[in-house]
Amino acid sequence: MLELADLVFLLLSVTEFIVGMVGNGFIGLINGRSWLKSKRISLSDFIITNLAISRIILLLILLTDSFMMVFFVKLHETGTVMQIIDLFWAFTNHLNIWLTACLSVLYCLKIASFSHSMFLWLKWRVSRVVMWMLLGTLLLSCGSAMSLMHEFKIYSDFSGIDDTGNMTEHFRKKKSTYELIHVLGTLWNLPPLVVSLASYLLLIFSLGRHMQQMQQNGTSSRDPSTEAHKKAIRIILSSLFLFLLYFLAFLILSSNYFILETKMTLMIGEVITMFFPTSHTFIFILGNEKLKKTFLELLWCESGHLKPGSKETFSP
Task: Give the mean pLDDT of the chain.
Answer: 77
160 — phi, psi (to 5°)? -85, 5
- Within 8 A by CB and 6+ apart from 301, the residues are 307, 308
Going by pLDDT thresholds of 50, 70 and 90, the confidence category of residue 313 is very low
Neighbour-count burial for 226-259, b at 16+ CB within 10 Å, e otherwise? beebeebeebbebbbebbebbbebbebbbeeeee
Taking only Cα atoms into account, the Rg of the chain, rounded to an integer number of angstroms, comes to 23
Q: What is the value of pTM for the model shown?
A: 0.80
Asked if residue 222 has pLDDT above 70, the reply is no
Q: What was the pLDDT predicted at 18? A: 93
Type and span of the H or E element at 258: none
Going by pLDDT thresholds of 50, 70 and 90, the confidence category of residue 19 is very high
Asked if residue 14 has pLDDT above 90, the reply is yes
Which CA distances in Å does 123 have to 14, 131, 304?
Answer: 42, 13, 45
Q: What was the pLDDT predicted at 86? A: 78
Domains in the chain, CATH or no CATH each: 17-303 (1.20.1070.10)
Single-letter code of the amino acid located at 219: T
Q: What was the pLDDT predicted at 310? A: 44
Cα gap 141→148, rounded to integer Å: 11
Q: Under DSSP, is residue 223 helix (H, G, I), strand (E, B) or coil?
A: coil
- As a whole number, mean pLDDT of residues 285-307 equals 72
Going by pLDDT thresholds of 50, 70 and 90, the confidence category of residue 21 is very high
Q: What was the pLDDT predicted at 79? A: 64
